Amino acid sequence: MKILISNDDGIDSPGIRALARAVSDLGEVTVVAPHRERSTAGHSLTLHKPLRLEEVEKGFFAATGTPADCVYLGIREILKEVPDVILAGINRGANLGTDVHYSGTVAAAREGALMNIRSFAFSLVPVPGDENKPMDFGMAAGWARKALELGLDVPFPKHTLLNVNIPNVEGSQVRGMRVARQGFRYYANEVTRRVDPRGKPYYWIGGPYKGFEKSVDCDCNAVNEGWVSVTPLTIDCTHNDFYATLSAAQRTNGL
Ligand code: MN
């Protein structure tokens, strides 16, 4: 089995090392990851400037681009063939609910899903109230491997991926794996305005996490209750009910 691994925290992050180690006996592992952190890069591709690629150690490549660039280059330039599996992560921090739209980790997996490669995104989620607990990527990698085994056991429909979130609790406290829907997370939409030494304003955007929309079967709730959430995602974002009502309205109004 050919396994391509990427992330958005960068080639030197402990999460990607733990993931590569945990699956090394399952096949031939190649790691292609950004040379610096690219968290919240989303699914952007670098089309307007050159990319550099360096093999920093055997089988580990650092690229100057985004996570999606890394998967693109990994398939077409490094492997020169389609891998059996793409793994992204293990991310430092949650990729739950609406986070998936901003996440570079999920984007790396989505880049694989576009090509119908079996793709997985893994994230380690600090527990609210215990954010200073050291991130246990070794524990998370064990669960990543279990989720991979689950994913290898089922056929993937076209253009789908699995988004896996692991709570950063003591290994013995994890309650197990739970298949969950994508939820909805809230953040404080803050803008902090400051003034630079030359008198010009600059801005920091983004605020702290504010909780999730209550829903029993969503990923946010599963992780909150101590489960590893496994969420099947698809790329087609069409809302089917809205599609139907909009089409009907268009016909009714003769527009
Ligand atoms: Mn990240």
User: What is the pLDDT, as a whole number, of residue 243?
Assistant: 98
Cα 40 to ligand 1 centroid, rounded to whole Å: 7
Cα 126 to ligand 1 centroid, rounded to whole Å: 13
User: What is the pLDDT, as a whole number, of residue 128?
Assistant: 85
| pTM confidence score | 0.96
Q: What is the mean pLDDT of each run of 10 residues along the chain (255 residues)?
A: 98 98 98 97 97 98 98 98 98 97 98 98 94 96 98 97 97 96 94 97 94 95 97 96 97 93
Question: C-alpha dihedral over 166, 168, 169, 171, to 10 degrees?
Answer: 60
Answer for the pair 19, 5: CB distance below 8 angstroms, yes or no: yes
Helix, strand or coil for residue 98? helix
User: What is the pLDDT, as a whole number, of residue 58?
Assistant: 97
Cα 98 to ligand 1 centroid, rounded to whole Å: 15
Cα 41 to ligand 1 centroid, rounded to whole Å: 9
Cα 36 to ligand 1 centroid, rounded to whole Å: 11
User: For the packed helices 14-22 and 137-152, what is the interaxial angle rounded to 10 degrees?
Assistant: 50
Answer for the pair 233, 106: CB distance below 8 angstroms, yes or no: yes
Dig out the tokens for 182 from the structure: 């994508």
Distances from the Cα of 118 to the Cαs of 57, 112, 162, 250, in angstroms?
26, 7, 8, 38
CATH superfamily of 2-184+213-252: Survival protein SurE-like phosphatase/nucleotidase (3.40.1210.10)
Residues in CB range of 153: below 8 A, 6 or more apart = none
Residue 71 CB burial class (10 angstroms; 0-12, 13-18, ≥19): buried
Cα 92 to ligand 1 centroid, rounded to whole Å: 5
CA angle 148, 31, 34 (to 5 degrees): 115
Cα 91 to ligand 1 centroid, rounded to whole Å: 5
Cα 79 to ligand 1 centroid, rounded to whole Å: 24
Cα 57 to ligand 1 centroid, rounded to whole Å: 22
